[in-house]
Amino acid sequence: MKTLNIAEARQNFSALVDEVRFGGEPVVISKYGRPAVMITTLAVPGGGAKPPPPRDWRDELELRHPYRGQSFSMAPDIALASAELPEPFHRDPADRLIVAQARRSRATLVTADRKILAYPHVKTAPWE
């Protein structure tokens, strides 16, 4: 089982989650040299389809919407901004990070998530 310190995990967190999610072994993240948390997959009844490769959904996004998709790296201040979003907004930490990043970048967030689409404090477009 792979073990990373918190700084290493932070640098590549999204890729790390995808690695575990799509068949990799669990990863232990340590803080101050001691194991703190483990990233592992959740058993989902009935499984679920593996999502398409990122290039495929990026190409589909560009076909469906008149503006080009953008990717962003996650800065530490985004984590703070996610905790300070105008309320009411739901508590899902991943959604809060995504919304905070879109707000900070003044980007249009393309999503099928009804809660995000209904949130008036970020510019959205429906993923149909």
| Residues 74-92, mean pLDDT to the nearest whole number | 85
Convert the pLDDT of each residue in 38-69 to its tens digit: 888 765 545 554 555 656 656 666 665 555 55
Look at 90 and 24; give whichever has higher pLDDT.
90
Which residue ranges form the domains of the chain, and what is each CATH number? Answer: 2-39 (3.40.1620.10), 54-126 (no CATH)
Is the whole model's pTM more than 0.75, yes or no?
no
Look at 77 and 22; give whichever has higher pLDDT.
77
| Confidence tier at 25 by pLDDT (50, 70, 90) | confident
CA–CA distance, 123 with 70 (Å, rounded to integer):
14
pLDDT at 83: 87
